[in-house]
Amino acid sequence: MASVMKFLGTYSCEPDEVSLGQYDTGDLYSSAPVYNVTFYNGCTDCDVVDLSLRCPGFKTLKPIDPFIFKPSGDSCIISRGLQIYTGVTINFTYARESQYPFEIAHYHFECAPPPESEVKGAARIVRG
């Protein structure tokens, strides 16, 4: 009798596969410089979930869509904490007299096995 073992693969991501950056757009809003903040999930295997930034005392003159950026105490929740899929960039702009020093406070990776169609084509060991 033969038995079949499927190799489902290993899914992992490293902290350096997610990035946070910002720059001055050169635009003004109510006489204040406008800055663009970008978060990128560069991991090819996993989604980022529950992303929040450290942002104590953050204030902006330019409103930010609360679905994308929502202050909560000393943290700011990005994308309502929902999944940020592999290869996706989230960005927002804000306006204030000086650039705010955002830092990533928290996130985790959520990795799912490949669809069944990919598993069927995976390597197999058959012993008889």
What's the pLDDT score for residue 24? 98
Token pair for 85: 């899929």
What's the pLDDT score for residue 14? 86
What SS3 class is residue 116? helix
Q: Is the pLDDT of residue 113 over 70?
A: no
What's the pLDDT score for residue 7? 36
What SS3 class is residue 35? strand
As a residue count, the chain comes to 128
CA pair distance 82, 88, nearest whole angstrom? 13
- Whole-model pTM: value is 0.78
Q: Is the pLDDT of residue 112 over 60?
A: yes
What's the pLDDT score for residue 114? 59
Query: Which tens digits make up the pLDDT trace of 53-98?
Result: 999 999 999 999 999 999 999 999 999 999 999 999 999 999 999 9
Enumerate domains of the chain plus CATH numbers: 3-127 (2.60.40)
pLDDT higher at 117 or 96: 96
CA 125 to chain centre: 36
122 pLDDT tier (thresholds 50, 70, 90): very low
6 pLDDT tier (thresholds 50, 70, 90): very low
Token pair for 97: 């007299």
